[in-house]
């Protein structure tokens, strides 16, 4: 049914190409991005988006191209307006809803953000079917992703979740997990995002939002950081969906397998390659690159140190394939920030682990929670009396 078809609008690959073109450090990727962006804009006659792109200097303005796209937009919108007027005069609620959705989707496709949002919200108000209302909410979320509008994303994620709880079907429920996971990853809520992406791994259908390979890549990148080691093998290393894609994404295979197998020198190489080839070029992950790389290093150091009461700096440097001075400097920084539980004996060149007491940690947690509870009771008593 046409009502079940999820249109891949706006074309989210174009926002990635736009990001590539306005990022000075990605010059080696800009020729391909420029060609792909221009072809995508032409294919959907995206005059409003073309104006935004050329004003930023990402593409050279072409007045003839802009004029032809604007003319095509005007003609198409005129047809859609006539169809809507006819539906309002002679047809029923369902036909009016279809006409409103067609008009809203046209504005979404051409990248006219403000008018598209208004039109989609109007279509949402006039559409009775719960499934269609969920689809419109998901379209508004995609508009938010396309233009980097976090407020629009969060508003419509909440709306879509409300509709899903009212009776959304299995497919839309699974699509929403991908949308929520992608948003969580974009705002550095990696644990939440990782869980959602993993949960959707075997049921993924949201290709209007992200390609399957990019989805699996993001799932691997996020969950390699957040999963415990036993879960890393169970949920990633041996997952059929991951294994089927890894031949096309070899660097991600190197990353997760070398971390799991404790081949730390190879893991560091894979992490450095990942930083340059996936993280920095990604519109979604680029803002979190430094954080991610730092946390992955801490994870690897912690994993190795858990196996020893003490270990020499020389052994550590050999295990990670770096110099003793680098290991000394890196560990010192993480120890000072309370991220690694160990001490460095510079005289003897030894790192000694200082595992925190589990009982002490539990005691501190109880005391902290008790303080919070007492404060809440005191505030409540003031209100009551």
* Predicted local distance difference test score (pLDDT) of residue 380: 73
The verdict on 141 and 9 lying in the same domain is yes
Three-state DSSP class for residue 188: coil
pLDDT interval class at 384 (50, 70, 90): low
Residue 269 lies in a domain: no
Does residue 3 surpass a pLDDT of 80?
no
* Predicted local distance difference test score (pLDDT) of residue 1: 36
Does residue 15 surpass a pLDDT of 90?
yes
Does residue 27 surpass a pLDDT of 90?
yes
Residue 326 lies in a domain: yes
Average pLDDT of span 22-40: 97
- Name residue, tokens 């049914």: 1
Average pLDDT of span 21-48: 97
Structure tokens at 271: 């992490």
What is the number of alpha carbons within 13 Å of residue 90 lying toward its C-beta? Answer: 3
Domains: count for the chain: 2
CATH code for the domain in which residue 105 is found? 1.25.40.570
Domain C-terminal end among 166, 201, 223 = 166
Beta sheet of 342-345, edge-to-edge order: 310-312, 350-353, 342-345
pLDDT in tens, 147-195: 999 999 999 999 999 999 998 889 999 999 999 999 999 999 999 999 9
Q: Which domain holds residue 323?
A: 290-384
Residue 128 lies in a domain: yes
Domain C-terminal end among 166, 184, 211 = 166
Q: How far apart are CA 88 and CA 97, in angstroms?
A: 10
Does the pTM of the predicted model rise above 0.85?
Answer: yes
pLDDT in tens, 263-285: 999 999 999 999 999 999 999 99
Average pLDDT of span 350-359: 75
pLDDT interval class at 303 (50, 70, 90): very high
Q: What is the mean pLDDT of the chain?
A: 92
CATH code for the domain in which residue 377 is found? 1.10.10.10
How many other C-beta atoms are found inside a 10 Å radius of the C-beta of residue 102?
A: 17
- Residues contacting 376, CB < 8 A, separation 6+: none
How many other C-beta atoms are found inside a 10 Å radius of the C-beta of residue 383?
A: 6
pLDDT in tens, 89-116: 988 889 999 999 999 999 999 999 999 9
């Amino acid at each position: 049914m046409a009502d079940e078809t999820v249109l891949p609008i706006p074309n989210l690959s174009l926002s990635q190409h736009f990001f590539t073109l306005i990022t000075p450090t990605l010059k080696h990727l800009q020729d391909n991005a420029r060609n792909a962006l221009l072809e995508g804009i032409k294919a959907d006659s995206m005059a409003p988006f073309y104006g935004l792109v050329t004003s930023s200097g990402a593409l050279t303005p072409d007045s003839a191209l802009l004029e032809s796209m604007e003319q095509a937009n005007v003609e198409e919108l005129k047809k859609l307006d006539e169809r809507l007027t006819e539906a309002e005069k002679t047809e029923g609620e369902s036909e009016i809803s279809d006409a409103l959705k067609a008009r809203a989707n046209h504005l979404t496709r051409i990248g006219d953000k403000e008018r598209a949002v208004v039109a989609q919200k109007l279509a949402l108000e006039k559409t009775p079917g719960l499934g269609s209302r969920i689809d419109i909410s998901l379209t508004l979320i995609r508009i938010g992703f396309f233009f980097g509008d976090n407020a629009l994303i969060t508003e419509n994620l909440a709306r879509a979740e409300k509709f899903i709880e009212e009776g959304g079907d299995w497919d839309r429920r699974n699509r929403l997990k991908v949308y929520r996971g992608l948003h969580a990853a974009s705002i550095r809520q990696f644990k939440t995002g990782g869980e959602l992406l993993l949960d959707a791994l075997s049921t993924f259908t949201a290709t209007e939002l992200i390609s399957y390979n990019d989805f699996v890549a993001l799932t691997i990148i996020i969950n390699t950081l957040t999963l415990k080691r036993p879960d890393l093998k169970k949920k990633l290393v041996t997952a059929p969906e991951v294994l089927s894609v890894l031949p096309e994404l070899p660097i991600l295979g190197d990353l997760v397998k070398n971390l799991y197998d404790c081949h730390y020198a190879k893991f560091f190489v894979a992490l450095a390659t990942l930083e340059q080839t996936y993280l920095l070029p990604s519109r979604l992950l680029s803002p979190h690159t430094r954080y991610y790389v730092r946390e992955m290093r801490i994870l690897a150091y912690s994993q190795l140190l858990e196996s020893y009461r003490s270990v020499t700096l020389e052994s550590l440097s050999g295990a990670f394939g770096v110099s003793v001075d680098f290991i000394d400097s890196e560990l010192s920084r993480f120890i000072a920030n309370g991220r690694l539980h160990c001490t460095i004996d510079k005289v003897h060149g030894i790192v000694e682990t200082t595992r925190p007491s589990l009982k002490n940690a539990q005691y501190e947690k109880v005391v902290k929670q008790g303080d919070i509870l007492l404060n809440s009771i005191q505030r409540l008593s003031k209100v009551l009396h």
